[in-house]
Amino acid sequence: MSITTTTHLNFRGEARAALEFYLSVFGGDITIATYGDFGMPADVPGAADVVFGQVSTADGFRIMAYDIPGQAGGSPTAGETRRENGTTITDQPFFVSVRGDALDEVQRYWDGLSVGATIIEPLAASAWSPGFGMLTDRFGVTWILDVAAEYPAE
């Protein structure tokens, strides 16, 4: 048996735009189905909203999203993340973490996600990684990107 986990983001009318943005950053394939695709009459408000959406890549990246029925506008997360005296302060309920094997790979993802984002910690070398950064993208999702580091066994 095997098991995987996938981050599933809940939006209020912005799921399609977010999925298309993540596709532009990570590549891969996109699947989008609307409430109308599953039988909601086209003239009903929300029929064009996403009931199921996913971006997936051959190398294992996957993110899912949908639009909460009957809700329009607003980000999918609640809370605030900021830097204060060199420390990240947050009450976000979750972060999406993307870890790559090489700095140039992670840098490409960072460059894409940072368009219109609020940078919390710039992507840079840290005590635990050759590259670590944190940002909140233009859809309100907070991402941590880092380069996997080898740690000696204890």
pLDDT in tens, 30-74: 999 999 998 889 998 889 999 999 999 999 999 999 998 876 655
pTM, to two decimals? 0.81
**φ, ψ for residue 37, nearest 5 deg:** -60, -25
pLDDT in tens, 72-105: 655 555 556 666 656 555 556 678 999 999 999 9
| pLDDT reported for residue 25 | 97
Which among 22, 98, 36 is positioned nearest to 65, based on CA atoms? 22
Return all residues near 5 (Cβ < 8 A) that are at least 6 apart. Answer: none
Q: 7-67: which CATH topology?
A: 3.30.720
CATH of domain 81-147: 3.30.720.110
Cα dihedral 30/50/135/62 (nearest 10): -40
Domain-wise residue ranges, the chain? 7-67, 81-147
Mean pLDDT of the chain: 86
